[in-house]
Amino acid sequence: MSTGPKKRFGSTLTQPVAPTPDELMFGAVSPLPATPGAAAISSPSVDVPAPAGPTGRWVPFGSYVRDQTYLQLKQAEYWEPGFEIRQFLEDTLQAALAQLPAAQRTLPAPVLEKLLKTNRKLQSQ
């Protein structure tokens, strides 16, 4: 004899209810009028935020370097006052990317939109 799912008391009363995907996309939407003849109440337009693009914040990015290069980075970090590996790598990569014409071309809109939606690193926090 099986019974229905167990009811969970306590924790569900204190936790907020997660919004539905429609609420995330379109905001809170009021239900339709109950009768077809009832006048629809105009609600203020919901501003749908544009997809979050690059904001200049730091995102984790893992890559590989040779052991000698890593050792040199650590030596510079130790001996050079104010040397920060993260900023050094950012400056170096930006200089190299400035020389690469393909890096200056923008992505096609559908590819960029998909990347902004699916890549957690590019989503606002």
Please check whether residue 32 is in contact with residue 39, taking contact to mean a CB–CB distance below 8 angstroms.
Answer: no
Q: What is the pLDDT of residue 24?
A: 64
Question: In the prediction, which pLDDT does 40 show?
Answer: 47
| Tens digit of pLDDT at every position of the chain (125 positions) | 556 666 555 544 455 566 666 666 666 555 554 445 544 444 445 454 555 567 778 888 888 999 999 999 999 999 999 999 999 999 999 999 999 999 999 999 999 999 888 988 887 65
This prediction's pTM: 0.50
Cβ atoms of 93 and 99 closer than 8 Å: no
List of residues 6+ apart from 123 with CB closer than 8 A: 52, 116, 117
